[in-house]
Amino acid sequence: MAALLALILMIPALLPVAEPTQPNPVRRSPLLSEGTLITNAEGIMVQDGKLPLRLFRLTGEDAGGQDQRQFVLLPCALLQEMEAKADSIAPAKAMFSVSGEVLTYGNKNWLLPQHVEWMTDHADRDETDTLPSSPSDELTEEDASSDAVPVDDFDRDQGDSIADIVADLQSSVGPLRRSVDAGDQETAEPVAGPAEGKRLVSRRGRLARGRTGAWTFVLDADITGLNDPSMILLPSKRLTQLETYGGYGWLGQPMLISGEVFTYRGRHFLRPTAWKMVRERPNLIR
């Protein structure tokens, strides 16, 4: 009886253990190095499911085969225009052709758009159903009695040729591309402070953290005595280096920074390109 009980207890150990099934991970393309330029890359703009970010997902040959190539779009005036175009046709997906510079931060590629075209369908045009008068209508009786092409056959062949040419042109041209840069066409409220595209050269300020944890640069008053608004630093390798300096105790200390300014929804952003720490020496001998 004891031997039978022992054999029953050993049965679960002898049975094969089923390994838990794991979902197939989504393959992603390897990260591109910072400074890579992409030109006329076609894709769709989608919303990140976890963070309030916009993603640019490549389609077609640019997608990299089975690997999924996508970029996080950096805030700038062009991104604001892209969002306006995408919202105007929602819930349909907006197709764009984007050229810009690739930046790296963390384990993601970020894209700074420099030129964007909105890919739309052909515009509907009013086309007449009647064909223009054919030169065959003015044929004389002598011409009609000759070996000329009959009038009915001439009109039919001419009309078919026009329809074929129009169809071939529409199929070969593809979707229309229109720049999303509105320029001066739309009256947007001016943003106080430096305009987009302005370059800061050795501006004095201090590195800080925002309420949401974002790294910001607080500018000191310049020679005009005016204080420019603080700027959120855009993700890049330079920002990774600045984070290291901030951890070493330079947070809140004076420094000189250079970079390019971008604007997005009333806020200022700065892409840092160079900086230098400033050591204050209050005990200088006069």
Task: Identify whether 189 is part of a domain.
Answer: no
Domain membership of residue 214 (yes or no) is yes
- The gap from C-alpha 30 to its chain's centroid, in whole angstroms, comes to 18
What are the distances in angstroms from CA 244 to CA 102, 108, 192, 240, 241? 22, 19, 31, 7, 5
Domain that holds residue 215: 199-277
- CB of 128 closer than 8 Å to CB of 78: no
Residue 134 lies in a domain: no
The closest alpha carbon to 45, from 91, 94, 79, 4, belongs to 94
Query: How many other CB atoms are found less than 10 A from the CB of residue 83?
Result: 18
What does the pLDDT read at residue 151?
A: 47
CATH of the domain at 216: 2.40.50
Whether the CB-CB separation of 52 and 265 falls below 8 Å is answered with no
pLDDT at site 223: 65
Q: How many domains does the chain have?
A: 2
Judge whether 221 lies within some domain: yes
Domain annotation covers residue 17? no
Residue 141 counted as domain residue: no
Per-residue confidence (pLDDT) for residue 21, from 0 to 100: 56
Contact 252, 220 (CB under 8 A): no
Q: Give the pLDDT score at 231.
A: 93
Q: CB under 8 Å to 69, separation ≥6 — which residues?
A: 28, 29, 57, 58, 62, 63
Last residue of a domain, one of 120, 148, 183: 120
Tokens of 215: 């790294």
Q: Of 63, 98, 120, which residue is a domain's last?
A: 120
Residue 90 covered by a domain: yes
CB 51 within 8 A of CB 66: no
- Which of 195, 197, 272, 202 is CA-nearest to residue 232? 272
Return per-residue pLDDT of the chain as tens, 286 residues.
555 444 444 544 444 555 555 555 555 678 899 999 999 999 999 988 777 889 999 987 666 555 678 999 999 999 999 999 999 888 888 899 999 999 999 889 999 999 999 886 544 445 555 555 655 555 555 555 555 545 454 444 554 566 666 556 555 555 566 666 655 444 455 567 788 999 999 999 999 888 888 899 998 876 665 667 889 999 999 999 888 887 777 788 889 999 999 999 999 999 999 989 887 666 655 5
Of the three residues 120, 143, 158, the one that is the final residue of a domain is 120
Q: What is the pLDDT of residue 11?
A: 44
In a domain, 143, yes or no: no
Name the token pair of 250: 């330079």
